[in-house]
Amino acid sequence: MQRVAMVSMHTSPLDQPGTGDAGGLNVYVLELSRRLADAGIEVDLFTRRTSPSAPSSVDYADGITIRHLEAGPVRPVAKEALAELVPAFAAALAQTDDRAYDLIHSHYWLSGRASLMASRRWDAPLVHSMHTTARMKNLTLAVGDRAEPRSRVLGEEFIAANADLLIANTDAEASHLISAYGADSDRVTVVHPGVNLSTFRPDVTARAALGLNADAIVLAFVGRLQPLKAPDVLLRAVAVMLARNPSLRPRLVVPIIGGPSGAGPDVSLPGLVRELGIGDVVRLLPPLAHAELARWYAASTLVAVPSYSETFGLVALEAQAAGTPVVAAAVGGLRTAVREGISGLLVDGHSAEAWASALTRGIAQRERLAVGTRPHAAAFSWEATAARMIGAYECVTSASLIDEEMTA
């Protein structure tokens, strides 16, 4: 294994997670690429050019090059409209044949559809990570969210039928790909995402650095501000908690860290904060660089992840790596990312009352749960992820060589 083409059409690995379409996928692609490069594998990261100032290629780090392809207008385009640009991106990718690749690893369905042409032209196997699927999202829609279109479902079905290997984040996602998309079980493998254990770690100085009182009760949310991620669930739960126990108010701090999403309707949080009368405890913060974000994780009493759907939930893992228990929705990969009763609590449903009760329990059990956070997160290092991924890559390239020999 010498060279991999990593494809992320709809969002650049350089974009700031927590705003627009950037999120856990961006973190995943960059962190995986770094560990592959550490293992001696060259990685070319392909994404769509969205700015006239973006060069055709950027030497991001030793062994990693980011390559911007022209496909459609040279500006940001809403993710919902990007499907129309898949043919142009696919053609640009397929024509980039100045380097030989052992395989292509595409991320999200738009990249998968675009990468199939290059896979055939380059005679390189296609490994694909869905990250999310339309069918799963449509089963768990938040109030006010829009259903994914039939075209995406069909696109994902086509990828499931034609990719050489599908990478699932968890056993539950693997089962979903097989049952809902008809994927061949022999072409689905599970590789858990990881967490940067050096960046996200306990920090006893974090509260002082952020100007937080030592006895503050800090309930944090990190992520894009969209119905799917459900920051409103946390805010409504906080209002219930304060109604039940007004004495919490002087100590309560609720940082909401993230920006508006480029996909689907946004959540209007300032208006909701005013409506609920909790403006004195809520802090609306923009997306933060990892070093600053790590401080907030370490300074928090609990981190809430109330998403309606998550294939894994990197925020939950980052928080636990920083020594902070997580209260998360009992959906998708969060059941794997959070160890119930050991490193956090899982909540059935999204009612404000249920979440208020769970958060109250989490506060009371915080010290006990914190003991299990770092050990749980340590099982999900990016180094372990890369090692398992390289094993998967070698299996699919070996199988391709055998197929070639049999048809020769």
Residue 324 assigned as binding residue: yes
CA 139 – CA 160 distance, rounded (Å):
19
Residue 108 assigned as binding residue: yes
Residue 300 assigned as binding residue: yes
Residue 24 assigned as binding residue: yes
Residue 51 assigned as binding residue: no
Residue 383 assigned as binding residue: no
- Alpha-carbon dihedral sign for residues 208, 210, 212, 218: negative
Residue 70 assigned as binding residue: no
Residue 76 assigned as binding residue: no
Output the 3-class SS for the chain: CCEEEEECCCCCCCCCCCCECCCHHHHHHHHHHHHHHHCCCEEEEEEECCCCCCCCEEEEECCEEEEEECCCCCCCCCHHHHHHHHHHHHHHHHCCCCCCCCEEEEECHHHHHHHHHHHHHHCCCEEEECCCCHHHHHHCCCCCCCCCCHHHHHHHHHHHHHCCEEEECCHHHHHHHHHHHCCCHHHEEECCCCECCCCCCCCCCHHHHHCCCCCCEEEEEECCECCCCCHHHHHHHHHHHHHHCHHHHHHEEEEEECCEECCCCCCCHHHHHHHHCCCCCEEEECCCCHHHHHHHHHHCCEEEECCCCCCCCHHHHHHHHCCCCEEEECCCCHHHHCCECCCEEEECCCCHHHHHHHHHHHHHCHHHHHHHHHHHHHCCEHHHHHHHHHHHHHHHHHHHHHHHHHHC
Residue 22 assigned as binding residue: yes
Residue 23 assigned as binding residue: yes
Residue 224 assigned as binding residue: yes
CA 103 – CA 221 distance, rounded (Å):
37
Residue 21 assigned as binding residue: yes
Residue 162 assigned as binding residue: no
What are the b/e assignments for 378-400, b being 16+ CB within 10 Å?
eebbbeebbebbbebbeebbeeb
CA 93 – CA 43 distance, rounded (Å):
15
Residue 25 assigned as binding residue: yes
Show binding-site residues: 10, 16-17, 21-26, 79, 108, 132, 152, 224, 229, 297, 300, 310, 318, 324
Show binding-site residues for UDP-N-acetyl-alpha-D-glucosamine: 16-17, 24, 224, 229, 310, 318
Show binding-site residues for Mg(2+): 297, 300, 324
Show binding-site residues for 1D-myo-inositol 3-phosphate: 10, 21-26, 79, 108, 132, 152
